[in-house]
Amino acid sequence: MHDEIWALQTTMVHAVELALQEIWKYWYTPVTWEEKGTDDRVTFLDKQIENKVERFLRERTGYGFMGEEYGLRSEGKRRWVLDPIDGTVNFTVRLPLVAVSLALMEDDEAIMGAIGEVASKRVYWSDGNQLYRGNVAIQNSRYVKSLDEAFVGLGTPRKDDPYGAKYGVFLSDLQTRAMRLRILGSAALGLTYVATGALDACLIPRFELWDVAAGRLLVEAGKSVLYQYEPNAVLMAARTPELLYELKQLWESIYFGK
């Protein structure tokens, strides 16, 4: 059983590495993009990577598969969930906050996940218990309890998002409280950085499963905490319960008048 699990983990990491290699092939080459909904973009490379990774995983595991670009390809009690390029808009201008996110779901729960950071070519992954960077087990030693000391990563709502109207007020208040704010454009990296300690907290206003399935698992494996308001909206991750509570209270004071 141990060998079987290790083989599955190795397959997952290799799939993410395959995607990273594809992105780097085109990093210095102009890539055209198309509009995809409000404030979003898609490239041929998103679709190409999704197809290649899906084939790679199907040949080796036979599990179901769902990706951002083509949706649910095949059913199964277990299914892979892929974001081939998380931060596509960043990629189109070569802002190197770009990632690949892959999780293995069993029913509605992620049981393992991996995130590849394009800029460094590093793969962070978890078996649901331990956090790894490549083959090395790592541990987040930061223990920030207050926004005063915290580096906070943020996503931004799109122009048509109901949370957009008050987001500027929230940012203004958070700016006066936190040590530093960092707007990323990649939910997967925001969660990875909380897991590893590069950020103390992050808040993602809107997302899909493929954006966060692997990242949430990494956060938990890194002994950090999560709170989510809705199925696809307002996900918070923080290094400590105290910091999460403070971030949550600030959000609710703006949006709910609490």
Confidence of residue 74 (pLDDT cuts 50, 70, 90): confident
**Does pLDDT of 186 surpass 80?**
yes
Taking residues 20-44, report their average pLDDT: 89
**DSSP strands (E only) in 190-244:** 201-206, 225-230, 233-238
pTM here is 0.95
Among residues 74, 84, 92, 108, which one has the least CA distance to residue 22? Answer: 84
> Using an 8 Å Cβ cutoff, are 237 and 248 in contact?
no
Answer CATH for 2-138 from 3.40.190.290, 3.30.540.10, 3.30.559.10, 3.40.50.2300: 3.30.540.10
Kind of pairing between the strands at 151-154 and 201-206: parallel
Confidence of residue 75 (pLDDT cuts 50, 70, 90): confident
| Per-domain residue ranges of the chain | 2-138, 147-255
User: Which pLDDT score, from 0 to 100, does residue 1 have?
Assistant: 58
Element (H, E) at 9: helix 2-25
User: Which pLDDT score, from 0 to 100, does residue 47 have?
Assistant: 96
User: Under CATH, what is the fold of the domain 147-255?
Assistant: D-Maltodextrin-Binding Protein; domain 2 (3.40.190)
Over residues 103-133, the pLDDT tens digits come to 999 999 999 999 999 999 999 999 999 999 9
User: Which pLDDT score, from 0 to 100, does residue 142 have?
Assistant: 83
User: Which pLDDT score, from 0 to 100, does residue 195 have?
Assistant: 96
> Using an 8 Å Cβ cutoff, are 194 and 201 in contact?
yes
**Does pLDDT of 81 surpass 80?**
yes
Q: If you average pLDDT over every residue of the chain, what do you get?
A: 94
> Using an 8 Å Cβ cutoff, are 57 and 81 in contact?
no
Over residues 129-167, the pLDDT tens digits come to 999 999 999 988 888 999 999 999 999 998 888 888 899
**Does pLDDT of 2 surpass 80?**
no
pLDDT above 90 as % of the chain: 82
